[in-house]
Amino acid sequence: MIRPTEISPFRLGIRGQEAVSDETLAALFALPAFRIVAAALPDPLLAVDSDENILFLNAAMAQLSGIPAASAERLPLANFLRRAGFRLEENPEDEGRTDGLARLVSTADGRFLPVQRRVLASGELARGYRLYIVRPGETPVLPRRASRAAPRADAPELALPPGLKEQVQRATRAYRRGVRILLLGESGVGKTVIARHVHDLAAGKEAPFVHVNCGSIPETLFESEMFGYERGAFTGALQAGKRGFVEAARGGTLFLDEVGEIPLSSQAKLLKFLEDSTIQPVGSPVSKRIETTVITATNRDLREMIAQGRFREDLFYRIATFPMLVPSLRDRPDKEALLDALLAKVNVGRQPQLRLAPDCRAALLAAHLPGNVRELSGIIDYLDIVADEVAMPKHLETVLSVAGAPPAVPFLQAEGTTLKEMTAVFEDQVLRDAIARYGSKREAAQHLGIDNATLIRKLRRLPGQGLAG
């Protein structure tokens, strides 16, 4: 089998050249032959240019990140990583290496994947072209560090309204005592971000944070995905068996997102784990004890679901020791501070810094955004791409759905926008509109005639609005 390293662009004719221009590299990645081979590689692969803009990503990387190739190309690497929920981290197993080649990418669901970073042009590492190749099959066991990593200097603080800030502090104390937190609020308000924040503060960034989207696990796979299985447990099972999400979260956080979507039969299995902290992988005769802190989140009214017999009351009391409501964007008094925080995020390493013209800022603050902070964040990402230094109202025309107005077909006048991009943005708007109208993703999926997992996958692929969002 061809290994990715064997088809590095060095082999495609650049080897030996002292300096490779942006144009040469771009031409290389545009070569049909290169694209065909790289696209078919089983290992996720991503190439960036000297300005850390994405030149190319293959299908495996698109699948791993949930971001389609057409949307990702030309995106700044930092944006791509953020949208995919990836972080590039130094590999502690390779401490002491000075060439900076060994890195890890940690994914939103808490996996750590080794990355080979190849410098495609000679010259300083920081200015070279790089090819990132992820090898999911070779997941290393990460040593836990004694001391907590210092917060990254370039990571802006999480923007929270005053009341919520105190709630988060209390939740952090609750977490440290092993109390289970239930985050309530509409889709896109920041429940996941808050769960991760509490985890970082209470458990430390190095501890595993396993994000499980309960709505996307088919009922028949719930047990094996959650608790794992032994080798040969069922037809189609991996030879070596598989660790479940619970075990992957050992020593850290198991974040059960969309907990209201868990079918009743699976709720009973989850309840058992929450009661005795033990799991029994499918096909295994023995049970294991797993210490992990569970945080849950939902945009459903669980009490109403209990009254309707769709959610177990005993499970509710097991997960809701510390319930916390995250307000929707329209109810937040700190919209301006939030906007600035989102702007600060895209401005990390950006030259020139992106600013908002006063009327653009006013339009954003007044906008009706049913997708909440996720939608606002997607718009800022879009402005990051289309505006050089000052974002003007004209930049918003195609992405903002004005309060009360039906969703407009976007991008009709946008130059240089492909049909695929327009379709993706339109689809995104339809999905968000349906979620806002029907109150939950499951209901929205039913009305749209797609299954819940497809809707969630599409939303993850398009975390915000806009060209690449």
Ligand X SMILES: Nc1ncnc2c1ncn2[C@@H]1O[C@H](COP(=O)(O)OP(=O)(O)OP(=O)(O)O)[C@@H](O)[C@H]1O
9: left (phi over 0), alpha (psi -120 to 50) or beta: alpha
Residue 366 Cβ, how far from ligand X at the closest point, in Å? 19
Comparing CB distances to ligand X, the nearer of 198 and 363 is 198
For ligand X, which is the closer residue by CB, 155 or 238?
155
Residue 308 Cβ vs ligand X, minimum distance, rounded to whole Å: 21
Contact footprint for ligand X (CB under 6 A): 158-160, 185, 187-193, 257, 297, 299, 341-342, 373-374, 377, 463
Two tokens, residue 149: 């990593």
Residue number closest to ligand X, CB atom:
190
How far is residue 263's CA from residue 380's CA, in Å, rounded to a whole number? Answer: 36
Name the minimum Å distance from CB 14 to ligand X. Answer: 36
Q: What b/e string do you get for 247-268 counting C-beta neighbours within 10 Å, with b at 16 or more?
A: bbbbebbbbbbbbbbbeeebbe
State the nearest-atom distance from the C-beta of 161 to ligand X, in Å: 9
For residues 211 and 312, which CB has a smaller minimum distance to ligand X in the complex? Answer: 211
83 contacts: CB under 8 Å, gap ≥ 6: 65, 67, 381, 463, 464, 468, 469
Residue 390 C-beta: closest distance to ligand X, Å: 22
Distances in Å between the Cα of 188 and the Cα atoms of 194, 213, 463 are 11, 14, 9
Q: What is the Cβ-side half-sphere exposure of residue 114, based on CA atoms within 13 angstroms?
A: 14
The residue among 64 and 164 lying less far from ligand X, judged by its C-beta, is 164
Query: Minimum CB separation from ligand X for residue 99, in Å?
Result: 32
Q: Which two tokens stand for residue 345?
A: 């995020």
Rank residues 84 and 104 by Cβ distance to ligand X and give the closer one: 84
Minimum distance of ligand X from residue 187's CB (angstroms): 4
Among 436, 380, 429, which Cα is nearest to 408's? 429
Helix (H) or strand (E) holding 269: helix 264-276
Instruction: State phi, psi for 278 to the nearest 5 degrees.
Output: -120, 150
Kindly tell me which of 188 and 466 has the beta carbon lying closer to ligand X: 188
Whose Cβ is closer to ligand X: residue 28's or residue 159's?
159
- CB atoms under 10 Å from CB of 457, counted, come to 16
Least spacing, CB of residue 158 vs ligand X, in Å: 5
Smallest gap, in angstroms, from Cβ of residue 455 to ligand X?
11
Q: How far apart are CA 121 and CA 52, in angstroms?
A: 13
Which C-beta is closer to ligand X: that of 50 or that of 440? 440
- The residue (of 62 and 212) whose beta carbon lies closer to ligand X is 212
The residue among 43 and 375 lying less far from ligand X, judged by its C-beta, is 375
CB of 101 to ligand X, least distance (A): 29
CB of 425 to ligand X, least distance (A): 17
Supply 425's token pair. Answer: 């943005």
- Using DSSP's 3-state secondary structure scheme, residue 311 falls into coil
| Torsion over CA: 15, 21, 24, 29 (sign) | positive
The DSSP secondary structure of 22-62, one letter per residue, reads HHHHHHHHH-HHHHHHHHH-SS-EEEE-TTSBEEEE-HHHH
Residue 69 or 193: the one with the smaller Cβ distance to ligand X is 193
Amino acid sitting at position 80: F
**DSSP strands (E only) in 53-159:** 54-57, 87-90, 102-106, 112-119, 130-134
